[in-house]
Structure 1
Amino acid sequence: MDAASKPLRIPPQIAVYAEEHKVFDIIQKMVRNLLIDRPEDPIQYLIDHLRKDNDDVPRIIVLGPPASGKHTIAKLLCKRMNATHLTPENMLSNDVSPLVEEARSYKDKGQEIPDELWARIIQERLSKVDCMKRGWVLEGFPRTRDQGLLLQMNGSCPDHVVVLEAPDIVLIERNMGKRVDPTTGEVYHTTFDWPDDPEVQKALVEPEGISEEVTGQRLLEYHRNIPGILRTFPKIYKKLNADQPCLDVFSQVLTFVLSKPRSLAPHTPRILLYGPPGSGRSLQATLLAQKYSIVNVSCGQVLKELVADQTKLGQLIEPYIENQQQVPDNLVLRALTDCLSRMECSTRGWVLHGFPRDTEQAALLSDTGFIPNRVFFLDIPDDVAVERLSLRMTDPVSGERYHGLYKPAPRVDIHQRLQQNPKDGEEKVQARLDMYHANAEELEEFYQDVIHVNADQDPYTVFEFIESCIVKPLPKSVPGDPPSP
């Protein structure tokens, strides 16, 4: 029989490697660039693309009306992300290529530089080593939809477009207060950024084109063109209010540009829920499994099912469960490996809870190739955990579960026959909490990208937060960033 007709079982290590190294995204970008540039030697072109290793560098456009602060924001972004700052002005002043010379000739004659020439100049500048290796932030361009379309046709596509907004009356007031140091070129403002040095104050001059009439005309032109520009970048732009302190604006801009665009790569959820007893891991796993059709893998339930089915592994586990002893790690790992290796887990994904409980178990799980791509720590205070568990009771007649605080028994006779699980006694709960705290810190260090969730709230609110962290890509990190808390 043809082996290809059998179910294709992909080892878990392959999926982890492909996701960790973004194999799908690399291939997608290579094919996209190949279709845009159409090189004569496609194979060598793809080899060169891989050698550049610059798929993750910033590619940002900052737009906004006059006096919206786009120059300041662009400079802050470049400093923060070690990127190259590009403006139409510095591209014409710092380069001596034939294209720039041609553009200067238009400018010297007082003529508009053609859009096609602008697009070629920008394409040429973006191909330089500094832009290729460090990324770039392009300020104030494109100014029209046609310029934006030409950039796209030439392959000069940004990953993020920042659009700053503010009321016209605020922008006019800002613009009229600008002053420039003719010696250094530094820009100051009579209200927001006045220099302390009296000599510098005396040297400042009023730049051209900041009168109320000229600013109004520039604002009208901007408002006429910006809708078309945004239609050119429909899914990658974000409007931000620039009428607030500069650092607040920059913080919002940085959060946006560090966000990753949603990948088209096949994504198989591999979720680990970890938390103290009573934190709601079982409920959250059930909600995730129901909504996204992923496999709910409860370690305790897996072991009980093996015992109930009287498998060979279950027979080895049964004495430990009957004597209420901890099942050895090697047996637990065999049980979980068999479960997570099933086709449904490989294709649909899984949510695991109840294992691992310490770093040794986590290392064993990773060694088998089952590495979660989302790790959630459900955090609740100890007194809340004790309250949730120690007040739980079960009706031995109906099997219904009640809680002394959240779901009391409806009748006195039912209340009188309720029974408590011995493991829910207050002392035993506290002992389990102590064990959790003894291992939580080391386990958090083992899984570096842990996401903490406040589980001391409505369970559906907790679920919404967990869900948002699953469906959205994790933000990019910038060199020099402190580790995640």
Structure 2
Amino acid sequence: MDATMRPLYIPPQMGLYAEKHRLFDMMQEMLKGLLIHKPEQPVDFLINQLKLDSYDVPKICILGPPASGKTTIAMWLCKQLGVPRISPENLLTSSWSALTDKVQEYQRRQQKIPDELWAELIEERLQIEDCLHGGWVMEGLPESRELARAMLSSGIIPKHVVVLYAPDVVLIERNLGKRVDVVTGEVYHTTFDWPADEDTRLLLEAPGDISETETSRRLMEYHHNYPGILQSFGKHMKLINADQPCADVFSQVLTHVQVLPPTLAPFSPRILLCGPPGSGKSLQAALLAQKYGIINVCCGRMLKEAVAVETKLGELIKPYFDSGWPVADNIVVKLLSERLNRLDCHLRGWVLHGFPRDEDQAKLMKRADIHPNRVFFLNLTAETILERLTYRMLDPVTGERYHTLFKPAASKEASDRLLMHPRDTEEAVKLNVEAYSRLSSSLESFFKDGIFINGDQDPQTVFEYIESYIISPLPNPQKSF
């Protein structure tokens, strides 16, 4: 960082490092912990937080009405992710807690356990090493808005809250057929999920609270408490229909919890537009720059400007222009690196088009620390490209561009003076398209996260597709915990 410049110049490499290692999220979590726990020794507290290295571990709540499949989904998730399952039942029957005596006292009196005591019990369980380092799946908690608020006040903040739902008629039918393995705790059903193993069937028992009256009462209680829970966890909640095969429900839940939550870290778009000649890269770049204020970096125009202003790199580029040979890749990458490392590109983001054209150029970009976070491939057929380019014309007087089919000149006088650029002849276009087709497959393989868009559409439609991927807070990649 150069302290002699005002405003301070922050090298782009710092931003790339922070983005790659999610430093902003880490600092946010640490600050959140300080504000919640208010430790007497903040530095020691932060050091301990860093030693835990638990920012990416799963912290999942599975909620839903009775018989929605919470237990089954939670148990399957725990097996898949290798994390402990926390439920009201195993919290109340545990012997590790210093609060066990208090809990048992309420149970003996047949009184409701206070939400504050539940929150303390949960907090104490989450401080055990398996939860601290590995994460957790919490089933059926919180059951009310008051408990949700108590959990949040204690710093128990899940990353994903999955809410299962189904019609009450379906839930009552499910509950009546529920059977539980007294050894493993696995849940089965007399109609939908009856075990094939005879020994397992002998261990099944009907829970004591599955009567229609009791189920209806619990459903009413759930519907009464749900709006309050929604107020507490609304931004984190994912609703999933439980009235479908259990394997399908689990697949949707697993997909959801493996995607990291959207980050609040500052984001500068670094967009790369690839595609054959005539695919509309220049137009889309101009539209993006106009709407979002990002820097439009056209590789060809950048080379011409360097020659025009006679920079040192421009002097190296000029002989290539005079001879008609392509500019050496290392010179292009050096010029590109200088432009993209300016402060405006770092703060506002950039959209690049015209480079790279092949895998070798893409590798040079990577070695120069040029890392786009959105790569779009605009695809067109060769026939469409020929139609777009071979009918393009230029008015040498006004500089206006026309197209014989889509945008003809307004007057005969203007039409008569239109000229075609040599690169738009049919022979030249075919050569360029053939060259792109030969090199594009390796380029697409290099950018594995590339987004493919049909470029043979209205330009505004193409822009809307590109825009939808830019404004969404991706790419937080899927994480296998």
How many aligned positions are there? Answer: 479
Residue identity opposite 1:280 in structure 2: G
| 8 A contact 1:386–1:429 mirrored in 2 | yes
For residues 385 and 206 of structure 1, what CA distance do their matches in structure 2 show? 68
CA gap of 1:201–1:259, structure 2 versus 1, over 3 A, is: closer
CA gap of 1:155–1:202, structure 2 versus 1, over 3 A, is: closer
Shift of 1:192: 1.6
Shift of 1:220: 0.6
SS at match of 1:227: helix
Match of 1:476 in 2: 477
CA gap of 1:50–1:185, structure 2 versus 1, over 3 A, is: closer
Could you state the TM-score of these two structures normalised by the residue count of structure 1? 0.89
Residue identity opposite 1:477 in structure 2: Q
Shift of 1:250: 3.1
Choose 408-417 or 136-145, whichever is displaced more.
408-417
Unaligned stretches of 5+ in structure 1? 481-485
Choose 271-280 or 247-256, whichever is displaced more.
247-256
Could you state the TM-score of these two structures normalised by the residue count of structure 2? 0.90
SS at match of 1:300: helix
For residues 225 and 68 of structure 2, what CA distance do their matches in structure 1 show? 16
Q: Indicate yes or no: 2:42 matched with 1:42.
A: yes
Choose 145-154 or 410-419, whichever is displaced more.
410-419
Match of 1:215 in 2: 215
Choose 380-389 or 68-77, whichever is displaced more.
380-389
Paired-residue identity, %: 53
Shift of 1:433: 3.1
> Which digits, 9 at most, give the CA deviation of each residue in 1:376-402, with x for residues without a partner?
233334443344333433344554433
CA gap of 1:56–1:3, structure 2 versus 1, over 3 A, is: closer
Shift of 1:223: 0.6
Residue identity opposite 1:187 in structure 2: V
| 8 A contact 1:294–1:350 mirrored in 2 | yes
1:165-184 map, 5 Å: 165-182=165-182, 184=184
| 8 A contact 1:63–1:163 mirrored in 2 | yes
| 8 A contact 2:259–2:478 mirrored in 1 | no
| 8 A contact 1:279–1:380 mirrored in 2 | yes
Choose 122-131 or 82-91, whichever is displaced more.
82-91
| 8 A contact 1:12–1:370 mirrored in 2 | no
SS at match of 1:234: helix
Shift of 1:203: 6.1
Q: Indicate yes or no: 2:364 matched with 1:364.
A: yes
CA RMSD of aligned residues (A): 2.7
Match of 1:51 in 2: 51
| 8 A contact 2:97–2:124 mirrored in 1 | no
For residues 444 and 48 of structure 2, what CA distance do their matches in structure 1 show? 39
| 8 A contact 2:260–2:479 mirrored in 1 | no
For residues 305 and 355 of structure 1, what CA distance do their matches in structure 2 show? 16
For residues 101 and 457 of structure 2, what CA distance do their matches in structure 1 show? 64
CA gap of 1:464–1:222, structure 2 versus 1, over 3 A, is: same
CA gap of 1:11–1:93, structure 2 versus 1, over 3 A, is: same
Residue identity opposite 1:385 in structure 2: I
For residues 82 and 388 of structure 1, what CA distance do their matches in structure 2 show? 55
Q: Indicate yes or no: 2:347 matched with 1:347.
A: yes
Choose 206-215 or 293-302, whichever is displaced more.
206-215
Residue identity opposite 2:124 in structure 1: E
| 8 A contact 2:259–2:479 mirrored in 1 | no
Shift of 1:350: 1.0
CA gap of 1:69–1:326, structure 2 versus 1, over 3 A, is: same
For residues 155 and 26 of structure 1, what CA distance do their matches in structure 2 show? 15
Choose 149-158 or 249-258, whichever is displaced more.
249-258
Match of 1:278 in 2: 278
Shift of 1:325: 1.9
